[in-house]
Structure 1
Amino acid sequence: MDYIDTKHVAAELRTRLKGAFPGVKFSVRKSTGTASAWITVTWTDGPCTADVEQHTRPLQGAQFNAMQDRYESTGNTVTATVGGRRVTGKPLVDGISTHRHISDDALKAAADLWSQAHDGTEPPASGTLATCVIDGHIIQENWAPQQMWQIAHDVVLPPRWAAAREARPARADKEGDQGTEGLTLRHAAGDGTTVTGTRRGDGAAEVLRQHGFKWHRKNRYWYVPGSRDQHADTGFMTAVAADLRAENLSVTTAQPKPAPAP
C-alpha cells in the first residue's frame, strides 16, 4: 500500500475545494511540529461547514478514538498528485479541522435583522439575549455576540451563498468573453504532458507548479518532468484542467486517440 504525505493530501484537498466551491478563498494548512499530522481548513462566509466536510472526510486517513485514547485508521484511500503523477494510497492525515469565519458584513446584516424584529432597538454588545424568531428561524437564547453569529449563520449566509452559486456561471461566461485566448493541456509522446497559452499574471503558474509542472524556457511551455514517452494520465490531466478552470481560465485538453483494435 502506498502512503500519500500530508502535504500532497493538502494540495489535493485545495484543488477539490476550488473545484467544488469556485470563488471561495480557502486556507488549507498542514500542521507542523506535532506528533500527529493534521490539516486545518479555514474560509470566510460561503458554504456551510457540513458542505465543506463532505470533501474533507474522504481525505482523512485516521480518526481519534477517545475511548481507547488512540488514532484508528479510517480505511480511506486518496488519489493525489505526487511528483507530477497521480498516485493512489492511504492519506497520512490524522485529522482535518474546519473553521468557517463570519465576516463583519454578515454580522452587521444579522444585527440589522435582530433590530427589525425588535421594533428598531439596537442589539446590545454584551449580555444574554432571549430566544427570538428571525425570518422563520428560531434563534436560541445566548450571549449577544453568539446570537448575532447564529443569525448570520442560519439566516444571512445561506441565501447569499445560493445567490453567489447562481451568479457564478453568468460571471464566468462574461469573463470568458473578455478573457484570454485559452490554454491547451496536451499529452504527446514526444513532449509529454504540456500546457501552452499561459500569460504572465493569469494565475496559471501557481496552479501548474502545485501539480509538478516546470517552465521550459526554450520551448515556452509548461511541462511535467518524466512524462515523455509515457501513456497519458487522464486522471491527472482532468485534475489539472479542473484546477485551472477554478481560476476562471479557459482550458482545452488534447490527448492522443487510442490505436484502433487490429
Structure 2
Amino acid sequence: MDYIETKHVAAELRNRLKAAFPGVKFSVRKGSGTASAWISVRWTDGPGAPDVEEITRPMQGAEFNGQDDRYESTGNTVTTTVNGREVTGQPLVDGITTHHDVSGDALKAAAALWSEAHDGADPAVTGHCGDLDVGGHTIGANYARTQVRQIAFAVVLPQRWAAAKEQAAAQAARPANAREEGDEGAEGLALQHTDEDGTTVTGTRLGDGAADVLKRHGFKWHRKNQYWYAPGSRDQQADTGFMDAVAADLRAENLTVTTAQPEPTPTA
C-alpha cells in the first residue's frame, strides 16, 4: 500500500475545492509539529460546511475511535500527482477541520433581518432575546448578536450561495463567444480590508465596469499585486462606511461583490 504525505493531500484538496466551488477562496493548511497529520480548511461566505465536508471527508486517511482511544483507518484512497507522477494511496491525514467564516456584509444583511423581526430594534444594543422566525428558519433564544450570526448562516449565506450557483450555471450556459466578450462580474469581486494591504478589491476584469467606479472612490491599480487599493488605508482601521459605499456602487453596475472586514477589537 502506498501512502500519500499530508502536504500532497493538502495540495490535492486545494485543487478539488477550487474545482468544486469556483470563485470561493479557501485556506488549506497542513498542521505543524505534533499536528502534522492534520489539515485545516477555512473560507468566508460561499458554500455551507456540509457541502465542503463532502469534498474533505474522502481525503481523510484515519479517524479517532474514542471508545478504544486510538485512530483507525478509514479505508480511503486518494489519487494525486506527486513529482509529475500520478499516485494512488492512503492519505496520511488523521483529521480535517473546517471553519466557515461570515463576512461583514453578510452580517449586516442578517442584522437587518433581525431588526425587521424586532420592530426596528438594534441588535448591537439588545441583550438576550426569545425565539424568532426568519425566512422560515427558527432562530433559538439567545443573545441578539449571536442570533444575528445564526441568521447569517441559516438564511443569508444559503440564499447568496444559491444565487451564486444560479449565476454560474447561467454563465456556463451562454455561448462561448459571448463569455469571451466579457460577462460583467461573472466570478464576483472581493472587497476587503487587512492591516497589511489596507482596503483592496480583487477579481476585476478588463471591461467589467469596476475600474470607473473604483477610480471615483480614489482607488489605484497595483501592477505588481494585480489588485485595486485605497491609498493611505494600510495600518488603519477599516472604514466600514467607505467600504459599504464602494460595494453599493459596484453592485449598481450589476457586479457581484463580497466584503470581508476584520473583527472589531473588544473594548474594556
Answer yes or no: is the 8 Å Cα contact 1:36–1:94 preserved in 2: no
- Indicate the larger mover: 127-136 or 97-106: 127-136
CA-to-partner distance for each residue in 1:188-239, whole Å, 9 max, x for gaps?
xxxxxxxxxxxxxx9xxxxxxxxxxxxxxxxxxxxxxxxxxxxxxxxxxxxx
1:157 corresponds in structure 2 to: 157
Q: How far apart, in 2, do the equivalents of 1:117 and 1:126 lie?
A: 13
Q: How far apart, in 1, do the equivalents of 2:86 and 2:126 lie?
A: 52
Q: How far apart, in 2, do the equivalents of 1:134 and 1:168 lie?
A: 27
Q: How far apart, in 2, do the equivalents of 1:94 and 1:61 lie?
A: 6
What is the one-letter code of the residue matched to 2:121?
T
Q: How far apart, in 1, do the equivalents of 2:115 and 2:8 lie?
A: 47
Q: Tell me, yes or no, if structure 1 residue 86 matches structure 2 residue 98.
A: no
Q: Tell me, yes or no, if structure 1 residue 176 matches structure 2 residue 180.
A: yes
Between the aligned residues of both structures, percent identity stands at 64
Answer yes or no: is the 8 Å Cα contact 1:24–1:46 preserved in 2: yes
Q: How far apart, in 1, do the equivalents of 2:30 and 2:111 lie?
A: 35
Q: How far apart, in 1, do the equivalents of 2:100 and 2:144 lie?
A: 19
Q: How far apart, in 2, do the equivalents of 1:125 and 1:17 lie?
A: 39
Which contiguous aligned blocks of 4+ residues in structure 1 show a shift greater than 4 angstroms? 169-175
Q: Tell me, yes or no, if structure 1 residue 46 matches structure 2 residue 46.
A: yes
Q: How far apart, in 2, do the equivalents of 1:162 and 1:57 lie?
A: 23
2:202 corresponds in structure 1 to: none
Query: Which of the pair has more CA radius of gyration?
Result: 1
2:145 corresponds in structure 1 to: 145
Offset, 1:178? 4.5
> Residue 104 and residue 178 in structure 1: after superposition, are their counterparts in 2 closer, same or farther (change >3 A)?
closer
Corresponding pairs, count: 180
Q: How far apart, in 2, do the equivalents of 1:35 and 1:21 lie?
A: 27
Structure 1 length normalisation: TM-score? 0.65
Q: Tell me, yes or no, if structure 1 residue 100 matches structure 2 residue 100.
A: yes
SS of the residue corresponding to residue 40 of structure 1 reads strand
Offset, 1:144? 2.3
SS of the residue corresponding to residue 34 of structure 1 reads helix
1:218 corresponds in structure 2 to: none
Offset, 1:124? 3.6
What is the one-letter code of the residue matched to 1:101?
D
What is the one-letter code of the residue matched to 2:70?
R
CA RMSD of aligned residues (A): 1.9
**Where does the alignment leave 5 or more consecutive residues of structure 2 unmatched?**
184-204, 206-268
